[in-house]
Amino acid sequence: MVKKIARSTRQRPRIRTLLAVGATALTLATSAATPLNPAPRQAAAAEGDGKQILTVAVAQSVDSLSPFLAQRLVSTSVHRLVYEYLTNYDSKDNHAIPGLAAAWKPSPDKLTWTYTIRENSKWSDGEQVTAEDAAWTFNKMMTDEGAATANGSFVANFKKVTAPSPTELVIELKKPQATMAALDVPIVPKHEWEKVGDFSKFNNDKKFPIVGNGPFILTDYKVDQYVKLKPNKQFWRGAPKFDELVLKYYKDGDAAVAALQKGEVSFAANLTPAQAAALGKAKNIKVNDAPGRRFYALATNPGARSKDGKKFGNGHPALLDPKVREALFAATDRKTIIDKVFQGHAVEGEGYIPPRFSTYYWQPAGDQKIDYDPARAAQLLDEAGYKKNGAGKRVGKNGKALDFRILCHATDPNDKAIGKYMQEWWGELGIGLKVDCLDNVSDPWLAGEYDLAFDGWSVNPDPDFVLSIHTCGALPATPKDTGSTDNFICDKKLDELYAKQTAEYDETKRADLVKQLQSRLYDTKYMNVMAYPNAVEAYRTDQIKSITTMPSTAGNLWGQDGYWSWWSAVPADSAGSAGDNGSSTGLYVGIGAAVVLAAGLGILFALRRRSTAEDRE
C-alpha cells in the first residue's frame, strides 16, 4: 500500500488499540438533552418520540470517515456498520460467510474469482447495489495511490477487475492469493465516490447522510465529539433494533465507567482490573472477560526510510544493532507485566498472532526464546560496546550515554505503568528511558521521530493484513508520503515468506508459512510482543437485553470482525430479537468467560483490521 498524504495534513491513521485501553465506553440513553449530553435515563424510559438510543463512548479519535484512508479501530468499526464487504466472518467461529457477495468461486487454476453480487442490497439513497460498484472500488484502489492508502495490500496482486453483469464480479489475479474470501475492503457506491478528486485528502466528513448499504446509515459527525448512525431499514439481514447509535468521544475512561454505574452509559470496554472488579459487584452490570484479537508490543525504530532509499527521522542509532534490541527485550519482564499491570487479565506474549487464532498461533522454542534475563542483557550490551562508566551509566565509544525515548499513549494507563517498570529495569542496566506520553503519537511515529513505542494491533481471522504492514512494500514512497508500514521494517526474508503465505491455498501449508514468518520477525528483534490482553468489558443488563459476542463462546463485543454486536443488540424493554443470521444473536454474556487467551480491541481493535491497522480493527 502506498500513501500520498503529507504529514502536515493528517494524523497518522492507526488502529492501535492501545489508544483506547481503559477509556472506551458505550452509553445507552433516551432522548438526549443535547447531541453531546444524553440525558441519564434508562433505555426503557424513552421520552418524546420514544427513541431507543445506544451511545458508544470511544477514546480513539476518528482518523477518517473515508474507507480508503481509515485504519484506526474506531473508524474501521464505523465502516463495517456503514458499508458491506464482499464477505463477512461468522460470529460463531470466524469462518467466511456471504456479505455483499452471496456466493463466490475460483477457476480451476484459482487465478480468476467470480463473485455473485446479491440482488437484495440497495444503497441508502435507493439506488441498487451492483457488481459495478465493487469493480469500481477495487479499480480505484489499483490505479490511485491515495485510494490504496488503507487497503492497498488486498489489491496489489489483482491483474484485472470487471463487472460483466450487475450481479457478476470477476477478479483476475497475477498469481494465487489466499485472501480472496477475506477481502476486508468496504465496497462504496460508484455514483457517489466517482465525484471525489484527491482521495488522499478526502475524509468524507462534510456531507450527511453518507450513502452506504450496511446495517446503519451515518447521519452526522463532529471531530472528537460524536458519530451518529441510524438503522438502515433496507438492510438485507434486517434492521438493527435500536433507533439510533451514537459513538461519543470520551477522553477519560473513569468518567465513562462512572456513567455506566449511574445508568447513563450502557456498555464500557477496555476496563482496567480495578474497574472490572468494582463493576463486577455492581447491580445490573455484567462483566465480560474474554479472549480477544489483539497483541500489545514494544516496537523499536529500525531506522525510518522510504522506498526511494532515503532515511529520515531521528531514531537512536544504537537500535540498528540487533544485540542492543535483544538486550532491551531480555531486560523486560513480561511475567511482571501480566501479573502487576494487567493483573492476570492477559496472557504473556510471544508470537505476533494472538492465541485466539489457534491456526496461526506460534511460540518460540529452545534457544530462540528471549526470556527475562538481566545478566544476559548486560552481556549483550557489553558485546555491543556499551560499557558502564563510573556513574553506572552505559556509554558508547563516543562517550555518550545510552538514553532512549519511548512513545506512550497518554490515554492508556498500561503504557504509563509499563513505562515506569521499564525505567526501573533498564535503569539497573545503566540505560536511561524517557517516557513520552502524548495525546497524539501519530505525528512523531509517522515522521520516524521516536526510538521505541508501545504498539498493538487487532488481528483479523485472516492474518494477511497485519503481516503486510511489515513488508518493504508498505514503506512510504518518499519521506513526504505516508506508507502503510507499522515500524519501517524492511527485511528480504520477511518479504519472501509473506509472498509465499499469501499465495498458498492449502490451509495447513499456509499456517506453517505464517508461523515461519512470525519466527523470522521474532529473530529480527524489531518487536517484542509482551502481552495478549483480554477483552474486559461490561454492560448494563437493565438496558441491553441481549447482544452477540464474537466468537459466540468466550468472545468480545467491542471491536469485532463484523457488525454483529450492535446490529443484534436488543433493548432491555424490547420483546423482539434480531433476525437469525446463523450467529449467536440473543446470547447473554457471562462474567466468567474464559480468560486464558488474549483479547483486544483494535487498535483495535482491527484491524483493522489495523483491523486493522489497527487493526485495522
Q: In what order do the strands lie in the sheet with 267-269?
A: 216-222, 226-231, 244-249, 53-58, 24-29, 267-269, 535-540, 285-290
Q: What is the mean pLDDT of the chain?
A: 85
d(CA 589, CA 599): 15
Query: Stretch 40-53: mean pLDDT, rounded?
Result: 54
C-beta of residue 259 within 8 angstroms of C-beta of residue 38 = no
pLDDT score of 27 more than 60:
no
Lowest mean pLDDT among 18-27, 69-78, 112-121, 370-379: 18-27
**What are 564-585's pLDDT values in tens digits?**
999 999 998 864 443 333 333 3
Q: Which three cell numbers stand for residue 169?
A: 464480479
How far is residue 441 CA from its own chain's centroid? 16
Higher pLDDT, 54 or 79: 79
Instruction: Return the DSSP state at 472.
Output: G
Candidate CATH numbers 3.10.200.10, 1.10.3720.10, 3.90.76.10, 1.10.260.40; the one for domain 87-193: 3.90.76.10
What pLDDT digit, counting tens, does each position of 162-201 carry?
A: 999 999 999 999 999 999 999 999 999 999 999 999 999 9
d(CA 514, CA 498) in angstroms, rounded, equals 8
Q: Give whole-number Cα distances, 134 to 139, 173, 222, in Å.
A: 9, 16, 29
Q: Output the CA–CA distances (angstroms, integers) from residue 198 to 144, 147, 188, 603, in the order listed.
A: 9, 9, 16, 27
Mean pLDDT, to the nearest integer, of 124-149? 96
Look at residue 597 in the predicted model and tell me its pLDDT: 30
Q: How far apart are CA 587 and CA 590, in angstroms?
A: 9
- pLDDT at residue 315 above 80? yes
pLDDT digits (tens, 9 = 90+) for 337-366: 999 999 999 999 999 999 999 999 999 999
C-alpha cell at 370: 528471549
Three-state SS for 284-329 is CEEEEEECCCEEEEEEECCCCECCCCCECCCCCHHHHCHHHHHHHH
Is the pLDDT at 273 greater than 90? The verdict is yes
Mean pLDDT of 283-287: 92
Sign of torsion over alpha carbons 77, 83, 85, 87: positive
Q: Which residues of 506-524 are buried (b: 16+ CB within 10 A; e: fewer)?
A: eeeebbbbbbbbbbbbbbb
Among 300, 263, 299, which residue's Cα sits nearest to residue 282?
Answer: 263
Please give the order of strands across the beta sheet that includes 112-117.
101-106, 112-117, 168-173, 158-165
pLDDT for residue 256 is more than 90: no
Counting residues of the chain whose pLDDT is more than 90, the rounded percentage is 72
pLDDT at 8: 30
Question: What pLDDT, on a 0 to 100 scale, did the predictor assign at position 212?
Answer: 98
pTM (whole model) above 0.85: no
**What was the pLDDT predicted at 379?**
98
At residue 574, the pLDDT reads 64
Lowest mean pLDDT among 99-103, 111-115, 324-328, 592-596: 592-596
Domain ranges of the chain: 87-193, 294-533
Q: What is the pLDDT of residue 49?
A: 65
**For residue 608, is pLDDT > 50?**
no
CATH number of 294-533: 3.10.105.10
Model pLDDT, residue 484: 86
Distance, in Å, from the CA atom of 54 to the CA atom of 264, rounded to the nearest integer, reads 11
Residue 395: beta bridge partners? Answer: 387, 401
Q: Are strands 244-249 and 226-231 parallel, antiparallel or unpaired?
A: antiparallel
Specify which residues 231 forms β-bridges with.
216
Sign of CA dihedral 486, 492, 496, 499: positive
Q: Which of 24, 9, 18 is nearest to 149 (CA)?
A: 9
277 CB contacts (<8 Å, ≥6 apart)? Answer: none
Strand 244-249 relative to strand 53-58, pairing = parallel
User: What are the φ/ψ torsions at residue 554 (nearest 5 degrees)?
Assistant: 55, 50
The answer to whether domain 87-193 and domain 294-533 are alike in fold is no
Over residues 431-455, mean pLDDT: 95
Return the ∠ at Cα 36 (arms to 242 and 442), rounded to 5°: 100
What is the rounded CA–CA span in Å between residue 111 and residue 242? 43
Label residue 376 by pLDDT band (50, 70, 90): very high
pLDDT in tens, 402-423: 999 999 998 888 999 999 999 9
Asked whether residue 38 carries a pLDDT value surpassing 60, the answer given is: no
Q: Tens digits of per-residue pLDDT, 301-313? A: 999 999 999 999 9
Task: Report the alpha-carbon distance of residue 206 to residue 447 in Å, rounded.
Answer: 28
Distance CA(600)–CA(17), nearest Å, equals: 7
State yes or no: pLDDT of 21 exceeds 50.
no
